[in-house]
Structure 1
Amino acid sequence: GKYIFKDRIYKILFEHEEEHYRELSNHIRKHLELLKA
């Protein structure tokens, strides 16, 4: 289709969804901890 890169990104995210959300939540947690400090 037209969105070659978007399709590739979504395919990779779908294949690694669990890892993606784990890393994302770790990232957000670090920011929240910095805000609390």
Structure 2
Amino acid sequence: MKKLIALTLFALTITGCNTIAGVGKDVQKAGQAVQGAAGH
């Protein structure tokens, strides 16, 4: 279930970026969301 939530957040984040720099920031935010969901 946590993976599904993380993947959904990741997909929503990626669709909102317009530049390569934006992709990097979005991936970083998604990674932080995954860590938060995992309790780290």
Q: So what's the TM-score if we normalise by structure 1?
A: 0.51
Please say which structure displays the higher CA radius of gyration: 1
Q: So what's the TM-score if we normalise by structure 2?
A: 0.48
Instruction: Mark the runs of 5 or more structure 1 residues left unpaired by the alignment.
Output: 1-14
Matched, 1:20 2:27: no
Partner of 1:31: 34
Instruction: Percent identity, please.
Output: 0
Report the residue type matching 1:32 in the other structure.
Q
1:17: Cα distance to partner?
1.1
Instruction: Mark the runs of 5 or more structure 2 residues left unpaired by the alignment.
Output: 1-17
Larger RCO (CA under 8 A, 6+ residues apart)? 2
Aligned residues: CA RMSD: 1.9
Moved over 4 A (4+): none
Report the residue type matching 1:25 in the other structure.
Q
In the comparison of the two structures, how many residue pairs are matched?
23
